[in-house]
Amino acid sequence: MMRTIVELQQQLAPDLLEVLKRRYRILQQVGQTEYIGRRALAGVLAMTERVLRAETDFLKAQGLLDIRQSGMQLSDSGRQLLDQLAPTMKELAGLTELEERIRSRYGLRKVVIVSGDSEASEHVKRELGRAGAQVLRGYMAPGDVVAVTGGTTMAHVAGQLSSQRPLADIRFVPARGGLGESVDYQANTIVSTMAKRTGAQYRLLHVPDHLGEEAYQSLMQEPNIREIVEVIRSARIVLHGIGDAMVMARRRKEAEPAVAAMRSEGALAEAFGFYFDRSGNVVHRMPTAGLRLEEIQTAEVVIAIAGGRGKGEAIAAVMRFGHDDVLITDEAAALEMLRTFEADADEV
Amino acid sequence: MMRTIVELQQQLAPDLLEVLKRRYRILQQVGQTEYIGRRALAGVLAMTERVLRAETDFLKAQGLLDIRQSGMQLSDSGRQLLDQLAPTMKELAGLTELEERIRSRYGLRKVVIVSGDSEASEHVKRELGRAGAQVLRGYMAPGDVVAVTGGTTMAHVAGQLSSQRPLADIRFVPARGGLGESVDYQANTIVSTMAKRTGAQYRLLHVPDHLGEEAYQSLMQEPNIREIVEVIRSARIVLHGIGDAMVMARRRKEAEPAVAAMRSEGALAEAFGFYFDRSGNVVHRMPTAGLRLEEIQTAEVVIAIAGGRGKGEAIAAVMRFGHDDVLITDEAAALEMLRTFEADADEV
DNA sequence: AGTACCGGGACATATTTAGTCCCGATTATG
DNA sequence: CATAATCGGGACTAAATATGTCCCGGTACT
């Protein structure tokens, strides 16, 4: 498989691509306007004045921008560069467009798409994690409680999360108890990794995820359990993965009748312990000593992160549930989501 | 003319390419070694430990490098990336190789080559200026006197030179007096621009460059002239352009007999007021109230900067003169220099 | 057992970046 | 012709980041 130069560069210098993208956006925007001023431009591009200024100073030094007292404009070589750069940048801009389409169709606040297919490439999975970590960092504010689920994707987020200054007033908590999985991918483990990497606080929930009603009730009588559960339920930010319903059911060792019932009800996706059909209806739930639907609905920022072509449909299902604010996914899954959307539209 | 992606990127983000290059160099070096430690690697690559560490940490996070207690090694995907990147990087590495060839053949301390032909493209000219400014910054030390000649190339260097912190204890001086040229390209103008852009001191030499012996002698009796000339002659760093002999002679309005004499002597190149034949012998000089040959020979750092295919031969001639330490040029001129070198080798 | 080199921790300091406000000049507008 | 809005660029502080340097415990080879 031949990878494009952009993908190669994304591996060797992902943050540099962001710079490239930003400068390109500036050139593009300036190109669309006759004369535009720094502050006006900063407004359009949603940058602060100073950052934009650093870039325009640079672009001016490169001779790509003419800056005069009446505003700025592309120079001849700037316009020329913009044209020549277009095909290369389409790859990046293409994702931006894809992001916007997914965003508006599923009514989300924000969508971030990394290029590639995380099923096919370990590197894309890491990229997904990086993007997730970056988004999460952007939303965290002092005093926040961040509830996090498990999974390999989330483990990647944890691995890419960092902070120079310790965020001592942020608490990470698991959204749910433990699954019978490798310890590396359990919510508890991930929570502790995230907290360590950012210098934040964390609380763990040492309770099996899969509980009968009775056991659940009696556990909830325990004061120390209650306390941490209350913290969890106060989460302002929820960061969760999305799984395939049947795979998750098996992993959770759901009873066979329940699995059969779910299947017949069209269970397709799983997220934070709930099972969804393709329309985003909850078809199965389990008593949990963690986040309930209420908290998902009331949490201020619900961030979903999942990728891989095979997960496209599942992601679409959960997005239709309608309580997510932000989605971080990969190109393959995003394209699959669009296809799903269009197929459904045709049916109607 | 279709430009390659590397060239496009060089316009939009030249410094980012340096980062790319650096990371590639690291991968390459690590790939050539079985296991290598951080400090050893820093030595080989001439980087400080900390900078290298930042990069290796990054490359590790990208999964391109395996770091263990016994040292570091390329990971599988690192090796793969290195292979896939090779053709793209050849463009940059090609210049590095070219630099080394020029460097060793002309016995220089350092050679920097920017890609392209500054005769053909304004952008390459600017790049040349940027490279020159960068090199100069690298050599400047507190207390230095920097002597600078005129010319359009040098004007570009001045335009790209900058310093965040004022370099108040550095003095810029013109290497010679004024030529009858546009004021923008005169040494005096350039000196003042450089000083302003770096917060340095400067002294000007208000004396015509083209002087008869008598006038020269009487001017040198002037105490204030003498003083600045002494400063000029104490320069530790000399930054000069290189011109075509005949073009410069005409610009300097040399007397016709002198021009004819020079021509018959094979004058090919001009630099800091001296004319050189193709072997680097001085075939003509003029009394100057500026740098003399002695100072060129004793100055600690003599930096030549000139580009353009048509100047290749002239640059080669001045390099053979043998008192330059550093050459900054462009790809077109460098290739021409190599051709010149080989043609001469054949003759012998 | 000793030595040399390994990665990683730590930390003071230098440098860069970012946010913000001000200013005089210029242009559009009434 | 006057006035308001907008322009680029200067200035300055606070915050973030990069850098040089040394130390440490572990490991591998001698």
Q: How many CA atoms lie within 13 A of B336 on its CB side?
A: 19
- Mean pLDDT, rounded, for B23-42: 89
Residue B115 corresponds to which tokens in the numbers above? 């890609």
- Other C-beta atoms closer than 10 Å to the C-beta of B120 total 14
CA-to-C1' distance for A23 and D9, Å? 21
CA A104, chain centre distance (Å) = 16
- Per-residue model confidence (pLDDT) at position B302: 96
Mean pLDDT rounded to a whole number for chain A: 87
User: How near does any CA of chain A get to the CA of B10, in Å?
Assistant: 10
Alpha helices in A62-105 (DSSP H): 76-105
Ranges A42-46, A217-221, B273-277: which has the least confidence: A217-221
- Mean pLDDT, rounded, for B85-97: 80
Q: Is A160 on the interface with B (CB under 8 A)?
A: yes
Strand D CB shell (< 7 Å): A 35-40, 50, 53, 56-57, 60, 67-72, 164-165; B 48-51, 53-54, 69-70
Residue A277 corresponds to which tokens in the numbers above? 């059909």
Tell me the per-residue pLDDT of A217-274, one tens digit each, with 9 for 90 and over.
888 888 988 899 999 999 999 999 999 999 888 877 777 888 888 889 999 999 988 9
Ranges A40-44, A137-141, A303-307, B152-156: which has the least confidence: A137-141
Ranges A163-172, A277-286, B66-75, B287-296: which has the least confidence: A163-172
Query: For residues A205 and A290, is the Cβ–Cβ distance under 8 A?
Result: yes
Tell me the per-residue pLDDT of B301-343, one tens digit each, with 9 for 90 and over.
999 999 999 999 999 999 999 999 999 999 999 999 999 888 7
Q: Mark yes or no for CB contact A20/B20 under 8 Å.
A: no
Whether the pLDDT of residue A141 is over 50: the answer is yes
- Per-residue model confidence (pLDDT) at position A316: 96
Q: Mark yes or no for CB contact B13/A16 under 8 Å.
A: yes
Q: In chain B, whose CA is at the least distance from the CA of A59?
A: B12
Whole-angstrom distance, CA of residue A102 vs CA of residue A100: 6
- Mean pLDDT, rounded, for B176-197: 79
Question: Parallel, antiparallel, or unpaired: how do β-strands A237-240 and A145-148 relate?
Answer: parallel
CA-to-C1' distance for B9 and D7, Å? 30
Whether the pLDDT of residue B106 is over 50: the answer is yes
- Per-residue model confidence (pLDDT) at position B181: 60
More confident residue, A136 or B177: A136
- Per-residue model confidence (pLDDT) at position B331: 93
User: How near does any CA of chain B get to the CA of A1, in Å?
Assistant: 10
Measured between CB atoms, which of B19, B24, B85 is closest to A16?
Answer: B19
Whether the pLDDT of residue B164 is over 90: the answer is no
Ranges A161-175, A262-276, B15-29: which has the least confidence: A161-175
In chain A, which residues have their Cβ closer than 8 Å to the Cβ of B3? Answer: 84
Q: Of B286, B280, B283, B291, whose CA–CA distance to B267 is shortest?
A: B283
- Per-residue model confidence (pLDDT) at position B84: 85
- Mean pLDDT, rounded, for A335-344: 87
Q: Is A82 on the interface with B (CB under 8 A)?
A: no
Mean pLDDT rounded to a whole number for chain B: 87
What's the CA dihedral at B337, B339, B345, B348 to 10 degrees? -110
Query: For residues B309 and B124, is the Cβ–Cβ distance under 8 A?
Result: no
Whether the pLDDT of residue B24 is over 50: the answer is yes
Whole-angstrom distance, CA of residue A55 vs CA of residue A48: 11
Q: Is A20 on the interface with B (CB under 8 A)?
A: yes
Query: Which of B6, B26, B60, B62 should we substitute to test contact with A (largest number of A Cβ atoms within 10 Å)?
Result: B62
Q: Mark yes or no for CB contact A123/B85 under 8 Å.
A: no
Query: Residue A149 burial by CB count (10 A; 0-12/13-18/19+): exposed, middle or buried?
Result: buried
Q: Which nucleotides of D are covered by protein (CB under 7 A)?
A: 6-9, 11, 16-22, 25-28
Whether the pLDDT of residue B1 is over 50: the answer is no
Q: How many CA atoms lie within 13 A of A79 on its CB side?
A: 10
In chain B, which residues have their Cβ closer than 8 Å to the Cβ of A81? Answer: 8, 11-12
Ranges A115-129, B179-193, B257-271: which has the least confidence: B179-193
Measured between CB atoms, which of A8, A19, A160 is closest to B84?
Answer: A8
Q: Is B54 on the interface with A (CB under 8 A)?
A: no
Q: Which residue is nearest to nucleotide C16 (CA to C1')?
A: B164
Does residue B38 lie within 7 Å of nucleic acid chain C, judged by its CB? yes
- Per-residue model confidence (pLDDT) at position A321: 94
Does residue B37 lie within 7 Å of nucleic acid chain C, judged by its CB? yes
Chain A segment 252-311 residues within 8 A of B by beta carbon are: none
Does residue B44 lie within 7 Å of nucleic acid chain C, judged by its CB? no
| Closest nt by CA–C1' to A40 | D6
- Other C-beta atoms closer than 10 Å to the C-beta of B50 total 10
Query: Residue A215 burial by CB count (10 A; 0-12/13-18/19+): exposed, middle or buried?
Result: middle
Query: For residues B58 and A126, is the Cβ–Cβ distance under 8 A?
Result: no
Q: What percentage of chain B reaches a pLDDT higher than 70?
A: 94
Residue A114 corresponds to which tokens in the numbers above? 């990394």
Does residue A53 lie within 7 Å of nucleic acid chain C, judged by its CB? yes
Residue A132 corresponds to which tokens in the numbers above? 């997730």
The residues, ordered by sequence, that sit 6+ positions from B46 with a Cβ below 8 Å of its Cβ are none
Tell me the per-residue pLDDT of A171-226, one tens digit each, with 9 for 90 and over.
999 998 766 566 667 888 889 888 888 888 889 888 876 667 788 888 888 898 88
Question: Parallel, antiparallel, or unpaired: how do β-strands B145-148 and B65-68 relate?
Answer: unpaired
- Per-residue model confidence (pLDDT) at position A241: 95
**Confidence class for position A2, pLDDT limits 50, 70, 90:** very low
Does residue B264 lie within 7 Å of nucleic acid chain C, judged by its CB? no
- Per-residue model confidence (pLDDT) at position A1: 42
CA-to-C1' distance for A197 and C2, Å? 38
Query: For residues A71 and A36, is the Cβ–Cβ distance under 8 A?
Result: yes
Q: Which residue has 């103008």 as its token pair?
A: B189
Q: Which nucleotides of C are covered by protein (CB under 7 A)?
A: 5-8, 10, 15-21, 24-28
CA-to-C1' distance for A51 and D13, Å? 16
Whether the pLDDT of residue A92 is over 60: the answer is yes
- Per-residue model confidence (pLDDT) at position B3: 58
- Per-residue model confidence (pLDDT) at position B239: 96
Q: Mark yes or no for CB contact A77/B123 under 8 Å.
A: yes
User: How near does any CA of chain A get to the CA of B335, in Å?
Assistant: 25
Whether the pLDDT of residue B233 is over 90: the answer is yes
The model's pTM: 0.76
- Per-residue model confidence (pLDDT) at position B2: 47
Whether the pLDDT of residue B348 is over 70: the answer is no
Q: Is A23 on the interface with B (CB under 8 A)?
A: yes
- Mean pLDDT, rounded, for B129-141: 88
Ranges A137-141, A176-180, A313-317: which has the least confidence: A176-180
- Per-residue model confidence (pLDDT) at position A164: 65
Q: What percentage of chain A reaches a pLDDT higher than 90?
A: 36
**Confidence class for position B172, pLDDT limits 50, 70, 90:** very high
- Mean pLDDT, rounded, for B255-265: 87
